């Protein structure tokens, strides 16, 4: 399930180019930002950020719409099970 706070952390990390700056902007700790983005990536099933680059950069999927991708991955199994029934 997607969480607004995970998406918010992702957006600010990309906009500001670092987890530290996103944490400052959102009044959180850097590990909190990292955890939220990790949960988002788990929901999507893909890596969304290139962490080795400075400033951090979104991957191709991260540049697209990670929220849409996560929704389609969540809904896909339901449709497959509905078709089998």
Question: In which residue ranges of the chain is pLDDT below 50?
Answer: 73-83, 85
State how far the alpha carbon of 57 is from the alpha carbons of 14, 60, 64, 76, in Å: 6, 9, 12, 28
Q: What is the reported pLDDT for 24?
A: 97
Q: What is the reported pLDDT for 66?
A: 57
* Secondary structure class of 1 (helix, strand, coil): coil
Give the rounded distance of the alpha carbon of 12 from its chain centre: 11
Kind and range of the H or E run holding 5: helix 4-16
Q: What is the reported pLDDT for 80?
A: 45
Return the closest-CA partner of residue 43 out of 82, 75, 78.
75
Question: Whole-angstrom distance between the N-terminal and C-terminal Cα of the chain?
Answer: 24
């Amino acid at each position: 399930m997607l969480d607004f706070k995970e998406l918010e952390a992702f957006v600010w990390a990309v906009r500001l180019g670092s987890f530290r700056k996103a944490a400052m902007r959102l009044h959180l700790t850097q590990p909190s930002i990292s955890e939220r983005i990790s949960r988002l990536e788990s929901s999507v099933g893909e890596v969304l950020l290139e962490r080795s680059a400075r400033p951090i950069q979104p991957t191709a999927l991260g540049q697209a719409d990670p929220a849409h991708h996560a929704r389609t991955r969540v809904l896909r199994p339901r449709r497959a099970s509905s078709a089998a029934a």
